[in-house]
Amino acid sequence: MYNTLIRNILRFVILLVVQLLVFDNLLFGNYIHPYIYVLFVLLLPFDTPKWRLLIDGFLIGIAVDIFNGTPGLNAAATVFMAFVRPFIINITARKSDIDGKNAPTVTEMGLQWFALYALLLILLHNLVLFWMEAFSIKLLGIVLIETLLSAPISLLLIIIIIYIFKPLKR
Amino acid sequence: MYNLFIFIRKYNAVILFILLEVLCFIMIVQSLPYHNRKMANVSNSISGGIHKTTSNWNDYLHLRSENEALVEHNALLLKRLGCEEAEADTAYYDDVFTYIPARVVNNSIYEMNNYIVIDKGSVDGIEPDMGVICGNGVVGKVLNVTQHFASVMSMLNSYSIISCRFIDNQYVANVVWDNGNYRYGLVKDIPSHLIIKVGDTLVTSGFSNSFPADVLVGTIEEKGEDDENMFSTAKLKFSTNFSTLRYVYVVKNNFKSEIDSLCITR
């Protein structure tokens, strides 16, 4: 338990720093904005209560927001993502698959499942985020393009990050 | 209360989710200028739309009282105008006519004899034989009066006869209705030596005690044939549109009894 908390705090800080110092400064073009800090919400343990998910999602989102000067924007998206996470897990995994597993990680659940699970959540996160940023129904087309281009890139970067940090977690 | 706790326990995640999202939304709108302005626009357009709709409804609901106020005001102006004209004439004509505004509550135009019902009666000082006019011209004469209503014999009635005068040459004629179109009447008893032109205007003569002089009646539409009695007829287009009649003025001659008594003694 203690171990998990420390690991989560560490993950929170590392992902925040990486997001702010690296990925917010990378320019992939107008439509591609990778958000890898969502990995924090993706990797929270299965038995995390829903309210904890929401609070944790809000905290990482608002932390990114505070450094980016956009209070509430990322937080809204991560809170939404944390809210739908249990549903996505229900849809993509059988109960027997989850039993005895600690967290939805690549090592425990396999890369294929994780990629699907992560892609769905990242798509939803990006959709909310870009839409809140555009703040208009008229710009829905651009929002969708941004989402569809950004989410796969984010997923790719997240999987790369997971494999970079994998030895640490063992 | 207990149920409320159960509800909150059961849906704590949903409630927390909504609270957090609302918090995020408030932060976004408050801190980001673009979102702030956009939100202000949205709320303005919503509240503006609601205000406009309610005001439209209100206007509609108050339409009648507004109209009545306008009619009242018109009556006042008409009276003042009458006084001014009379002042130039003689002192006798001071305050000869009073105009009582009324609303048309029933109207027919397609019968042989058409009648109008107005919402003013004996309580308001309406008496039989008073003239009725509207903003565009003559309407008819009061026929019967009850306490709160009065029936008016409109010009579209075979018994209606109005004394008229050509505005150009002051010749007098009578206007009747020949059971035809509600837009047109018939000018009778025109002296046959009179050369009438299409477009000549007829106004009330002022001889009848019911109408003040110079109220518009209509214009000549078509020259008729001469009859054998040295009088000719003409088709007249009423200036009043009887099909859209809503508000009228009943003309009260304040000296009618005096004039009538003179006529009797003579």
Please give the residue that has the higher pLDDT: either A2 or A124: A124
- B82: pLDDT confidence band, cut at 50, 70 and 90? low
**Is the domain of B174 the same as that of B259?**
yes
Cα gap A5→A10, rounded to integer Å: 9
- B73: pLDDT confidence band, cut at 50, 70 and 90? confident
Residue B67 in domain: no
Q: Select the residue from A44, A52, A55, A58 to test the B interface by mutation, using most B Cβ atoms within 10 A.
A: A58
Is B28's CB within 8 Å of A80's CB?
A: no
Domain ranges of chain A: 2-169
- Alpha-carbon distances, residue A128 vs A18, A39, A79, A80, A124 (angstroms): 22, 16, 10, 8, 6
- Alpha-carbon distances, residue B222 vs A58, B75, B236 (angstroms): 87, 34, 7
- A1: pLDDT confidence band, cut at 50, 70 and 90? low
- Name chain B contacts of A79, Cβ cutoff 8 Å: 17, 20-21, 24
User: Average pLDDT, whole number, for chain A?
Assistant: 87
Strand partners, B142: B152
Strand partners, B180: none
Q: Of A82-91, A147-156, B115-124, B221-230, where does mean pLDDT reach its minimum?
A: B221-230
Class of domain A2-169: mainly alpha
Residue B155 in domain: yes
CB of A131 less than 8 A from some CB of B? no
Residue B56 in domain: yes
Q: For position B83, what pLDDT does the model report?
A: 60
Is B38's CB within 8 Å of A58's CB?
A: no
Expressed as residue numbers, the domain containing B13 is: 2-61
Q: For position A118, what pLDDT does the model report?
A: 93
Domain-ending residue, one of B61, B84, B108: B61
Q: For position A157, what pLDDT does the model report?
A: 92
Domain harbouring B117, CATH code: 2.40.10.350
The helix, strand and coil proportions of chain A, stated in percent and rounded to the nearest 5, come to: 75, 0, 25
Q: For position A59, what pLDDT does the model report?
A: 92
Q: For position A40, what pLDDT does the model report?
A: 92
Q: For position A126, what pLDDT does the model report?
A: 93
- B84: pLDDT confidence band, cut at 50, 70 and 90? low
User: Average pLDDT, whole number, for chain B?
Assistant: 82
Q: Is the pTM of this model over 0.80?
A: no
CB of B38 less than 8 A from some CB of A? yes
Cα gap A159→A114, rounded to integer Å: 9
Q: For position B92, what pLDDT does the model report?
A: 40
Is B27's CB within 8 Å of A51's CB?
A: no
**Is the domain of B35 the same as that of B119?**
no
- Name chain A contacts of B35, Cβ cutoff 8 Å: 135
- Name chain B contacts of A132, Cβ cutoff 8 Å: 28
Q: What is the chain B residue with the closest CA to A49? A: B13
The answer to whether residues B106 and B117 touch, using CB atoms and an 8 Å cutoff, is: yes
Residue B68 in domain: no
- B93: pLDDT confidence band, cut at 50, 70 and 90? very low
- The Cα of B47 is separated from the nearest Cα of chain A by a number of Å equal to 19
CB of A64 less than 8 A from some CB of B? no
Residue B79 in domain: no
Classify residue B212 as exposed, middle or buried by CB count within 10 Å of its CB (0-12, 13-18, 19+): buried
Residue B21 in domain: yes
pLDDT digits (tens, 9 = 90+) for B163-184: 898 988 888 899 998 877 888 8
Is A72's CB within 8 Å of B13's CB?
A: no
When divided into structural domains, chain B yields a total of: 2
